[in-house]
Amino acid sequence: MTLLVMLTGLLFQWFLPWWSGTIAAGLVTLFFADRSWHSVLAGFLGIGLLWIVAALWMQSGNDGILAGRMAVMMGFSSGTMVFLITFVIGAVTGGLGGLTGLMLRFSLFRNT
């Protein structure tokens, strides 16, 4: 399911603004998830990993020039922190999207 979030997220964010990753995670869990930790994990890892992989892809061959400069701008000594923050922002917004999607699924399909 993480993979599914990644693929949907890629598709969405290719054409839509950055927050469409959150919607992608939500849609996937809306249709496919059944447990909350599944959905959170899928959204969290799916979008987080997608952002990390995409960032790594974008900056391959750059020799860390940009990551290094961005790190100094934000007051860090190493570019690794910039990757970490990228992952966290993707992951948090993806995880929240997943959770929201799951709640929508519950409220639509499960009546208590």
Partner 1 sequence: MNRHLIKFAAFLSLTLLIVFALNSRIGMMPKIGPLFSPFEGFWQLAESSSHYTDREIRLTGLEGDVFIHYDEAGIPHIFAGNDRDLYMAQGYVTARERLWQMEFSALAASGRLTEIIGDQALDYSRYMRNLGMMIGAEHLVVNIMQDERSRVMVEAYTDGVNQYIRQLDRRKLPLEYKILGYEPEMWTPLKSALIFMNISETLSVRGHDHPMTVTLDIMGKAFIDRFFPRFSNTHSYYIPDEGQFDFEPLYATPPERLFTPKIMKESPVELPIPGAGSNNWSVHGSRTASGNPMMSNDPHLGLTLPSIWIEMQLHTPDVNTYGFTLPGAPGIVIGFNEAISWGLTNAGSDALDVYEIEFRDDTFREYLYEEEWLPVNKQLETYLMADGSAVTDTFRLTHHGPVTVAPNADPYSRFTPAGHAIRWAAHEPGNELLSIYLINRAANIVDFQQALHHFHSPSQTLSYADTSGTIGLFHHGKFPVRWEGQGDFISDGRDPAYEWQKFVPMDQTPRVINPSSGFAGSANQPPVGDYYPYRLGRLYTSNERGARIHELLSNESSVDLSFMKVMVHDNLSIDARQILPRLLEWIRPEELDDQQQAWLDTLSEWDYRYDTKSLPPYFFNRWWQGIYDEIWEDLSGLDRPASIPDKERTGIELIANPDDNLWFNDTWSNIYELTTGIYMREYDRAVETYGEPGDNWRWSVRQERSINHIAFIPGFGRSGLQPGGTPLALNAIGDLFAPSLRMIVDLSVPVQAWGIYAGGSSGNPGSYYYDNFIDNWEAGELRPLHFWRAEEEAASLYSITLSRCE
- 7 in contact with partner 1 (CB under 8 A): no
- 104 in contact with partner 1 (CB under 8 A): yes
- 112 in contact with partner 1 (CB under 8 A): yes
- Residue of 31, 34, 37, 72 that binds partner 1 (CB under 8 A): 72
- Residue of 22, 41, 45, 91 that binds partner 1 (CB under 8 A): 22
Query: Any long-range contacts for 67-73 (C-beta under 8 Å, 24+ apart)?
Result: none
